[in-house]
Chain A
């Protein structure tokens, strides 16, 4: 069974940093591109970042302005999101999501339950 379990969220002050993790199991992690998607309270979904299966290709949402860094460790079956210079507008639930394999321009077929990030003084 495919499982994605996020961790690392919490309460942080404006300007602070957090590192989110996503532990993957039930599939060959190193064969799949992965993504982070966030959702502010009561708002819609916002794609944050994606990373290819090998980690070679990375994309970010323009709104992040270079503050976030996505990475992965295929040996540990883990995806990460380093978030720096956090602001109130970064508050929300952060989901990791897997690309659907075998398709060009794939959707996200499995999602974790999410981890809550709250940025407040």
Chain B
């Protein structure tokens, strides 16, 4: 158990809908990262927050947004969902930030299915 929690575990929704994925980092970790993992694209870095501020952006679509709250938990919002958004979404946390080379601890993931 990494200490990172993600809810929900599974999510099934329809195209065009909007969903919110939630992540609680390990106690004491200030950085949160979001990833998308699909069979054809592998693990893709989406976005990083550090202590409430956006720190780095990866391959995140404009339909997706994220935020980190004062209690350090984070939410990833996915809107206007398409079939291709079906994937595993992971959250990871780390103590510090700098080069993104900090040891990241991954949560168990949220499996999103868009029908």
Chain B associates with chain A: no
